[in-house]
Amino acid sequence: MRNTIVLVRTDNFQKASVALADLVRYGGMEIRGDPRIIPPALSDWAFEKISGEKPRRKFRAHVIAQVDLPPAKAIGRLTDIHPPAHVLVIPPDSEVWEELIRLWNTFEKLRGFHPPKRRKGEGGKKEGEGEF
């Protein structure tokens, strides 16, 4: 299965980490592998290709991560939570996705990000939870 990619655009890498943690904690998403830092120009290109609009704001931190949900479900979860960043969902059948995956290993890993453990009542049950 091809993972959906999320593009996080925000003011600094700490906010990007918080936004990714929110996707896990409140959005019930699992981040696959290590989030990566991408160049602002590539982020702007991806934004424009996916949204059909030119970016209106300049951000300093641009991070991509692979998540375990199909695009429509990821978008639905994003509308329920409000991470402290601009988050764009990039579907696996897009040109942008192909390019980001092709370049994936050339991007620097986002250091210091550790996905939070999901607690009961946050984004679904883990295997074995709540079953007697």
Mean pLDDT of 62-90: 94
Q: Is residue 49 part of a domain?
A: yes
Q: Is residue 54 part of a domain?
A: yes
Please tell me the distance from the alpha carbon of residue 96 to that of residue 5, in angstroms, as a whole number.
10
3-state secondary structure of 120: coil
| pLDDT bucket at 101, cuts 50 / 70 / 90 | very high
Phi and psi at residue 11, in whole multiples of 5°? Answer: -80, -30
Q: Is residue 130 part of a domain?
A: no
Sequence-ordered list of residues with C-beta below 8 angstroms from that of 73, at least 6 positions apart, any chain: none
Asked whether residue 84 carries a pLDDT value surpassing 60, the answer given is yes
Mean pLDDT of 92-115: 95
* Number of structural domains the chain divides into: 1
Please tell me the distance from the alpha carbon of residue 23 to that of residue 15, in angstroms, as a whole number.
12
Residue 30 lies in domain: 4-109
Q: Is residue 114 part of a domain?
A: no
Q: Is residue 118 part of a domain?
A: no
Q: CA of 106: how far to CAs of 26, 32, 92, 100, 103, in Å?
A: 30, 17, 19, 10, 5
3-state secondary structure of 26: coil
3-state secondary structure of 31: strand
Asked whether residue 105 carries a pLDDT value surpassing 50, the answer given is yes
pTM for the full predicted model = 0.86
Asked whether residue 130 carries a pLDDT value surpassing 50, the answer given is no
- Average pLDDT over the chain reads 89
Amino acid identity, position 17 = S
Q: CA of 132: how far to CAs of 92, 119, 127, 128, in Å?
A: 38, 18, 12, 9
Q: Is residue 123 part of a domain?
A: no
Q: Is residue 122 part of a domain?
A: no
Look up the CATH number of the domain holding residue 82.
3.30.70
Please tell me the distance from the alpha carbon of residue 40 to that of residue 70, in angstroms, as a whole number.
25
Q: Is residue 28 part of a domain?
A: yes
